[in-house]
């Protein structure tokens, strides 16, 4: 049995591929692209919410939001650590993000304008992430699958935190309910875009499915998200942003309106409301933290030298 045949045997049997196992170069490259994009999304995703920590309406809200942003930083660390097992360095990952070679979720290029957006981001954005990431706990690459187990548990908290904000606003004053409706209107469609283009138009979907990196298609995941949010919007007493939404008895799913794919591609190609701001902030924070990394490396070298001398 050739290495490639053994690789496909493991894939078809549902076994995990581990870092030291033989794998096709394209499988490795596909994983590096997907996991790094996921990690970058977690790190960049800290920015719109982090900007609201000092403006949260209460100490309780501040503490919860601070915990959520901290979780997202941890998720980025898990994912960067997982992708490093594929032979790429942290410096290479950061450079790819800052130069625009690597992408991150397009939704983080939309500005968070109101406190209601903290609810919409937690409920819709993290809710969409959960729909996508639950199946990734069964992805074929071991380090990625194991990282997703903890990430999904924490994302569940994030989704509930966001929905709780929306419940409070929708049951508050007329102005608060209007704020919740506005946030829903602005983030609903970008949340649907998070699942990526239609499968027929996706450059990576077919091979990712073949190798079981992805276990469900973009369109199937998007349909799950649409179906589950309908009742949630009804409970909030808000108006659904999709005027074409309609239950399809034959399919057993909701039919929904067409996504503005021109907007999607415009944002991921760098022309969103906050693309430049997000990367500039990341570059600035990275440069300002250089002294911390240098100190860590110096301390590590000092400890290693002391250990060698003692030996």
pLDDT of residue 115: 98
Q: What sign has the CA pseudo-torsion 50, 40, 38, 218?
A: positive
Q: What is the pLDDT of residues 240-276, one digit of tens each?
A: 999 999 999 999 999 999 999 999 999 988 888 999 9
Q: Tell me what percent of the residues of the chain surpass a pLDDT of 90.
A: 89
* Helix, strand, or coil (residue 86): coil
pLDDT of residue 203: 67
pLDDT of residue 290: 94
List, in sequence order, every residue forming a beta bridge with 245; answer none if it has no partner.
none
CA distances, 128 to each of 26, 85, 91, 281 (Å): 27, 27, 29, 25
- Spatial separation of the C-alpha atoms in residues 277 and 109, rounded to whole Å: 9
Q: Which residue has the tokens 């941890």?
A: 74
Structure tokens at 223: 């349909």
Q: Which CATH superfamily is domain 3-310 in?
A: Ferritin, core subunit, four-helix bundle (1.20.1260.10)
- Spatial separation of the C-alpha atoms in residues 292 and 290, rounded to whole Å: 5
The domain spans of the chain are 3-310
Say yes or no to pLDDT of 310 above 90: no
Q: pTM of the prediction?
A: 0.91
Pairing of strands 253-255, 246-248: antiparallel
Confidence of residue 68 (pLDDT cuts 50, 70, 90): very high
Say yes or no to pLDDT of 71 above 90: yes
Q: What is the pLDDT of residues 212-221, one digit of tens each?
A: 999 899 999 9
Phi, psi (degrees; rounded to nearest 5) at 246 = -155, 135
């Amino acid at each position: 049995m050739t290495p490639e045949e053994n690789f496909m045997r493991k894939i078809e049997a549902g076994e995990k591929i581990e870092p030291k196992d033989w794998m096709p170069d394209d499988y490795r490259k596909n994983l590096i692209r997907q996991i790094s994009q996921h990690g970058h999304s977690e790190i960049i995703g800290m920015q719109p919410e982090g900007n609201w920590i000092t403006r949260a309406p209460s100490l309780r809200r501040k503490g919860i939001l601070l915990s959520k942003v901290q979780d997202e930083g941890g998720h980025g660390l898990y994912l960067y650590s997982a992708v490093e097992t594929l032979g790429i360095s942290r410096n290479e990952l950061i450079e790819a993000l800052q130069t625009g070679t690597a992408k991150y979720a397009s939704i983080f290029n939309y500005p968070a304008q109101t406190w209601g957006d903290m609810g919409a981001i937690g409920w819709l954005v993290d809710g969409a992430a959960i729909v996508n990431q639950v199946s990734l706990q069964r992805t074929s690459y071991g380090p990625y699958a194991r990282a997703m187990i903890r990430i999904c548990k924490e994302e569940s908290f994030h989704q509930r935190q966001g929905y709780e904000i929306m419940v409070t606003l929708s049951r508050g004053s007329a102005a608060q309910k209007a704020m919740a409706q506005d946030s829903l209107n602005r983030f609903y469609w970008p949340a649907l875009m998070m699942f990526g283009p239609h499968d027929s138009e996706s450059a990576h979907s077919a091979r990712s499915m073949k190798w079981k990196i992805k276990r469900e298609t973009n369109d199937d995941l998007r349909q799950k998200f649409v179906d589950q949010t309908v009742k949630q919007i009804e409970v909030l007493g808000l108006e659904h942003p999709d005027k074409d939404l309609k239950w399809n008895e034959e399919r057993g799913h909701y039919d929904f309106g067409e996504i503005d794919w021109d907007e999607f591609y415009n944002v991921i190609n760098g022309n969103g409301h906050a693309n430049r701001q997000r990367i500039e902030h990341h570059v600035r924070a990275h440069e300002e933290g250089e002294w911390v990394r240098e100190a860590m490396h110096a301390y590590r070298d000092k400890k290693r030298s002391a250990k060698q001398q003692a030996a």
